[in-house]
Structure 1
């Protein structure tokens, strides 16, 4: 087979950005120095007290390097792929010979584990070699393949080495021989979407149209054969892999209940849906598929206007990790999987490439600064799979309805999708800062994350330095350096965050009035001939916001959630005592910023005087009484950024608080 002629280190995004930021540099270095090494130890089963992974060992056994049997979930391979992808992004940002040697050694093992026909999956190679592609609904073969393809593409871009890229090209080509609507091929699709967006990345790297077409096939086939999963279940004698799966309901669970262009509401497993929509946006943009784009817009609107938590998390039900109905957003039983918010960010980025509208970046920011980083402890060694908005450890220990909720982050998981997903997103965060619109000669600034960037618009290059104190004071400075002494005419579009009412803008030290720029789709657009050293200064005043939920959300009715800048806040028992349900926040309560114990990374805590409900009578032995009355007492309240909760003593937590007159 002829290898595709792949360009070395292409910049498909149209820009590069090396992050140097007082908030995010800490997280990136945490991923580099703690998370990726920690996860390597976990993948090799060397974390005391954590569930074993055996993921690396599975590959070694499949490669003939060790004796043994497959261990773990059917999708265990994906943890290794995501680890490689995260390591690749770190290597793109900064050379690390020791890490590169380690990744190379894993890739060599993976290459030896690949079968002669290109197939690669340790579960089926070791445990069920005769059952390939017979249980697409449950067994994640295409999901694992997708993650490995993404890893191969990322490592190639980072290092120029193509061993893993060649492995995943052979894997993708094998998949292309298996699936399709032609006679003799399997007219199926994946139970857990991932292959679609991975194939699109492979297409972007290799410029081979067959990978774009294969990605589009998997999208188009979903729902076109609405009973495929039931049919394959019948063909294998009605056996199932996971013990309590309702095969008839499987199609809604995996978004194959309708052709994707006809879907209007977010249904089923939340991670699967947003991964699918990310691929839909990719393909729609590339092929100018208007019905596909419109389906993306409908599904996006349904989620963000009716089915998303205020922290940017999605998935209301622990059963099937799924969306439920409009405005059903319980905080205490929320599933709100970390991976789902990461997938929402993937999708938002692609929507921004298709349509420059700040509403997509606003959601991206909300999910990133709240749910995603809440999913990892401040020391990078423990993780949340589920991100609730309210917890009470005493009740959650005894009520099985809360069995999915943890009040302490875990060292690892038997199903460990979230930790490596966090690592690969944070390590690749530089890809989310800007969106160049080449035809418009416009650079869109989506996230205010400091660093050094370079971009190309209409064949001209420029550098951009961003100095950001966005997370603490809301102040940002950008310095432009075109490649020509004569300057460069283009537009810089600066996103106005949805939490900021009136931003302030200075250009070269002079305050700019509204008639000196245009405001369009949530962006302040400044067009001029930029000279070397031109400076933009922004100030986004961080007013304290009392956020309220839609009046159809029963669990938040009459309550408020506190937001400052991009951060949501919460109450914790360690600061406010037990019984957070007794606390009320008066409408006229004034907040003080930054008092008390210093919070991490320059994001301040907030304090105010609220009220605590107390009863005038002792309840005695009674569970219910009519002759008791409540009163209120002043109570000093301390709110902390939601992403920092559960890093101290275990206790109650709540994002929403009852508001009083």
Structure 2
């Protein structure tokens, strides 16, 4: 793990919001201290399970996972900003988890409190293994950051127990979780413990999925369940319709799917499994080339929070759960570990600057679960758009997204780089400093930039002694004319590039520096012709940032705005708007509704009004006056 000290204006702002606002806010939520919101009861559930309070279990069956994600966000926050009081609070919560753990290692408040005799009777629906996975991830992060083993030991104890329950051996359950998560967590646990059983257990859950006879059928019949929800969705909802190595398309619940794909990529790397690698590559191509929004939102259907079918990407009913875009970041990084190819880092970057952080207000106090690309507030009262909210919400009954976003933002430094013995790969551009071991010596790397607003990036390379190694720099796919200098000498990018990375191999000395220029003209992005809803429309993108129109800047009825092909754009950095953003302005025309008088339909030509449009970054919409929002603009 490369530890990075972030010194970036863009991301440090978000990290500070998470540290100062989101983590305390979510701690209050977990302790039922937020007014006018659905109580979480998550901490109270733990106290009841530990025998320290009386009462009934309250909340979703996966309520424990909110605690886990909060702890993981705390761990990564402590990595960047040591905070003794926060660490003591986390330690006290970990102690409570230890007291809530049962003698055999089991740790799940829903079953401990509500149904102690029904453990593992409904792994399809009731998230026991999902909660365990999130707790494992949190324990690994907390151990890596603080060096404290207590939480890790608690989860090793639980995992050892799970390993006695599931497997192909006689007397074990031959099942797998309905909501994938533990698979990728087990690989993390293997990484820090070296215990091969954890890797084997992850592999078992992946290999067992989709095999016949179907475990979900056997489990359902055993408990006498005739749940129509499952039959309505089918096996595809859980990605259990066929063995994972045979799957060709991303189907079913989007978060479940992508967590599983991330684990598959992990296992492909750890076990050198070429069949898993090829499955990951097929699924990646299907998802990113046929089922992904321009914001890197995924999962277009509200029904089942799921993928729909190829090129079905409606804007105004888009589900695009925040957690799904976060999961895409996780998967992209693992695909980069499998193969250094900019197509993975490009999607990771697209998700980070667009489809993830759109899920949170700039002040960190309200959240989107759903991230549409077009909003007409009046229409949000319709039954088919009931999932679309015109404003962010203070909390959710199913509160998976806010803590998931907090742990991602707090760990953003972990996505910047990767390395092998003598190569450092630079995947993302942001102000930071890190020390990495290359060729047996420590090399200090300082990255300076005002990305994503500014086109320039500088890296200072400082080995302890002069040595030969390689720095591989991602050339973003959106950048058509990149420029590169080393110590002032121009390097032809095309000559040194492979799979979207520029490889600079040389003897580096302290004080050497790399300069990159990524020109950021405003680009008119178009959809594949099969994306019917975007026919004749364009989206504006500058650098990695996707833009949108808001009613507060452009008036009502945004769908009546047309952008002429000849229009030019003015780009301005406004330090006082939305905490500092680049805005895009340009000439456009608007259909004049007054010319229609009282007619609903007419054959007359439209009367048009010349207007100036103003576009802001999509991630920052709905931080001023509520109103309409539009990403895809008519072009004429």
Q: TM-score when scaled to structure 1?
A: 0.94
Match of 1:122 among 100, 109, 120: 109
- 1:169-180 alignment, distance < 5 Å: 169-180=156-167
User: What CA distance in whole angstroms lies between the structure 2 residues aligned with 1:323 and 1:391?
Assistant: 20
Is 1:96–2:86 an aligned residue pair?
no
Task: State the match for 1:252 in structure 2.
Answer: 236
Match of 1:474 among 455, 467, 472: 455
Cα deviations by residue, 1:67-115 (Å, 9 ceiling, x for unpaired): 1111000000000000000101111223210001000110111100001
Match of 1:146 among 125, 128, 133: 133
Name the stretch that deviates more: 543-552 or 506-515: 506-515
Note closer, same or farther for the CA distance 1:93–1:598 as it changes in structure 2 (3 Å cut). closer
Note closer, same or farther for the CA distance 1:596–1:424 as it changes in structure 2 (3 Å cut). closer
Task: State the match for 1:421 in structure 2.
Answer: 404
Aligned-pair CA distance for 1:597? 8.5
Q: TM-score when scaled to structure 2?
A: 0.98
Task: State the match for 2:612 in structure 1.
Answer: 636
Q: Is residue 485–residue 516 contact of structure 2 (8 Å, CA) maintained in 1?
A: yes
Task: State the match for 1:5 in structure 2.
Answer: none
Aligned-pair CA distance for 1:626? 3.6
Aligned-pair CA distance for 1:254? 0.6
Q: Is residue 457–residue 515 contact of structure 2 (8 Å, CA) maintained in 1?
A: yes
Q: Is residue 390–residue 655 contact of structure 1 (8 Å, CA) maintained in 2?
A: yes
Is 1:80–2:67 an aligned residue pair?
yes
Match of 2:191 among 184, 204, 211: 204
Note closer, same or farther for the CA distance 1:116–1:651 as it changes in structure 2 (3 Å cut). same
Match of 1:490 among 444, 469, 479: 469
User: What CA distance in whole angstroms lies between the structure 1 residues aligned with 2:391 and 2:233?
Assistant: 33
Aligned-pair CA distance for 1:612? 0.3
Note closer, same or farther for the CA distance 1:125–1:575 as it changes in structure 2 (3 Å cut). same
Match of 2:502 among 524, 527, 535: 524
Task: State the match for 1:39 in structure 2.
Answer: 26
Task: State the match for 1:295 in structure 2.
Answer: 279
User: What CA distance in whole angstroms lies between the structure 2 residues aligned with 1:475 and 1:275?
Assistant: 34
User: What CA distance in whole angstroms lies between the structure 1 residues aligned with 2:239 and 2:174?
Assistant: 17
Task: State the match for 1:195 in structure 2.
Answer: 182
Note closer, same or farther for the CA distance 1:448–1:464 as it changes in structure 2 (3 Å cut). same
Note closer, same or farther for the CA distance 1:576–1:166 as it changes in structure 2 (3 Å cut). same
User: What CA distance in whole angstroms lies between the structure 2 residues aligned with 1:540 and 1:59?
Assistant: 50
- 1:355-434 alignment, distance < 5 Å: 355-397=339-381, 399-434=382-417
- 1:582-661 alignment, distance < 5 Å: 582-594=560-572, 598-615=576-593, 617-620=595-598, 622-623=599-600, 625-660=601-636
Q: CA RMSD in A?
A: 1.4
Secondary structure in 1 aligned to 2:362?
A: coil
Note closer, same or farther for the CA distance 1:589–1:187 as it changes in structure 2 (3 Å cut). same
User: What CA distance in whole angstroms lies between the structure 1 residues aligned with 2:435 and 2:252?
Assistant: 40
Q: Unaligned stretches of 5+ in structure 2?
A: none
User: What CA distance in whole angstroms lies between the structure 2 residues aligned with 1:105 and 1:626?
Assistant: 69
Task: State the match for 1:4 in structure 2.
Answer: none
Q: Is residue 590–residue 609 contact of structure 1 (8 Å, CA) maintained in 2?
A: yes
Task: State the match for 2:310 in structure 1.
Answer: 326
Is 1:545–2:526 an aligned residue pair?
no
Aligned-pair CA distance for 1:185? 0.6
Match of 1:336 among 306, 320, 324: 320
Match of 2:478 among 473, 478, 499: 499
User: What CA distance in whole angstroms lies between the structure 1 residues aligned with 2:85 and 2:458?
Assistant: 35
Aligned-pair CA distance for 1:392? 0.2
Secondary structure in 2 aligned to 1:246?
A: helix
Q: Is residue 433–residue 445 contact of structure 1 (8 Å, CA) maintained in 2?
A: yes
Alignment: residue pair count:
636
Cα deviations by residue, 1:111-165 (Å, 9 ceiling, x for unpaired): 0000111111000110111111011111000000000011111111111111111
Cα deviations by residue, 1:525-574 (Å, 9 ceiling, x for unpaired): 11110000001111111111000000000011110000001100000111
User: What CA distance in whole angstroms lies between the structure 1 residues aligned with 2:199 and 2:414?
Assistant: 21
Q: Unaligned stretches of 5+ in structure 1?
A: 1-12
Aligned-pair CA distance for 1:235? 1.1
User: What CA distance in whole angstroms lies between the structure 1 residues aligned with 2:108 and 2:518?
Assistant: 49
